[in-house]
Amino acid sequence: MATTTKKTVSSNGQAKAARVEVLKTYKLYIGGKFPRTESGRYYSPNELGSICLSSRKDFRNAVVAARGAFGGWSGRAAFNRGQIVYRIAEMLEGRSAQFVDELMQQGATAAAAKQEVAAAIDRLIYYAGWCDKYQQIFSAVNPVASSHFNFSMLEPTGVVAMVAPENTSLLGLVSVVIPAIAGGNTCVVLASATKPLCAVSFAEVLHSSDVPGGVVNILTGKADELLEHMASHMDVNAVVYCREDAKAIEALKAEASLNMKRVHVYNKNWQKDEAQNPYMIKALQEVKTTWHPIENIGGAGSGY
């Protein structure tokens, strides 16, 4: 741990006993609460401290929470979701020093850490704006030949299980979680195994941002333990996988066929602006087409 003890000197020149820092317990985030892993297992990546090694049971609990939150969250007005995502950015901006500190504990330079936090905040703002706009880009009124008003619009796919990028602690997680919830989905995301600190702290940001409990659930632990459960869980609608294990990807895709999960594998440079676009939202949407009859009487339609 990056805990240092310094001797401080009080104003009258006498040496004071050094204050002992209170260490943080890193927990999971499930259904708006911060439980420890039910398995009682921990690991300590790069001696960062005790990190929960989430179990299948933790994952299943998180899916229950995500499913429970889906109705309410997907039913929110797009504008309201935009306000809440914006609020997440406000909260993160206010706590940026903490995240910079954690990124540096996990090996980033000060400059890189600052840049990553700023990029994560700006990415939140970017998707806050999309909440009430992607529908206008991707929906359509379809000129069917019969006398019907026919339109297609997007609806969220449902509960999404995610394996966040391994090489970034904060920005990668934000880059996959936010487009999912901007579009009204709820999710269970597994944080970077080697750089989990920012994910845990990001849960605290979400918790103070009017994001309803259960919309985002954050687990820490090992992808090779949890991926098969993500792939096989019958109440998960889609899986987003952001690592490069080819065998795991093949197994995931095969297992996902159980209930036809949508599988998205992303391998992007998350630091770049190209990693953000409305197609990240669209990927986790279903298209619904509605037919409505149009009566056809009266009015020549040729009037001024």
Q: Which is nearer to other proteins, 20 or 297 (CB)?
A: 297
Contact 281, 183 (CB under 8 A): yes
Query: CB within 8 A of 63, min separation 6: which ones?
Result: 159, 161, 188, 233, 235, 236
In whole angstroms, how close is the CB of 149 to other proteins at the nearest point?
5
Cβ-based nearer residue to other proteins, 1 or 77: 77
Q: How far apart are CA 32 and CA 75, in angstroms?
A: 18
Q: What are phi and psi of 84, to 5 degrees?
A: -70, -40
Minimum CB–partner distance for residue 53 and other proteins (Å)? 38
* Nearest residue to 216 (alpha-carbon basis) of 26, 18, 30: 30
Q: Which of 133, 135, 194 is nearest to 165 (CA)?
A: 194
Compute the half-sphere exposure of residue 138: CA atoms within 13 Å on the CB side of its CA: 24
Q: Is 301 helix (H, G, I), strand (E, B) or coil?
A: coil
The answer to whether the Cα torsion of 66, 67, 72, 76 is positive or negative is positive
Distance in Å, CB of 181 to other proteins, minimum: 16
Q: Strands, E, within the chain: which ranges?
A: 8-9, 15-16, 42-43, 51-52, 140-142, 148-156, 159-163, 186-190, 216-219, 238-241, 262-265, 285-293
Nearest to other proteins of 50, 83 (CB atom): 83
What is the C-alpha to C-alpha distance for residues 229 and 179, in angstroms, rounded to an integer? 23
Q: Shortest distance, CB of residue 141 to other proteins, whole angstroms? A: 11
* Nearer Cβ to other proteins (75/301): 301
In whole angstroms, the minimum distance from the beta carbon of 86 to other proteins comes to 7
Smallest distance from the beta carbon of 69 to other proteins, in angstroms?
A: 24
Instruction: Return the number of the residue (127 or 266) whose C-beta is nearest other proteins.
Output: 127
Nearer to other proteins, 139 or 259 (CB): 139
Instruction: In angstroms, give the least distance from the CB of 140 to other proteins.
Output: 13
Tokens 């359509």 belong to 140
3-state helix, strand, coil in the chain (%, to 5): 40, 20, 40
Q: Which is nearer to other proteins, 12 or 302 (CB)?
A: 302
Q: What is the DSSP letter of 283?
A: T
Residue closer to other proteins, measured from CB, 71 or 293: 293
Longest dimension (CA), the chain: 96
Question: C-beta of 113: minimal distance to other proteins in Å?
Answer: 21
Nearest approach, Cβ of residue 220 and other proteins (Å):
31
Under the rule (CB under 8 A), what is the footprint of other proteins? 78-79, 82-83, 86, 122, 125-126, 128-133, 136-137, 149, 278, 292-299, 301, 303-304
Q: Which is nearer to other proteins, 33 or 79 (CB)?
A: 79
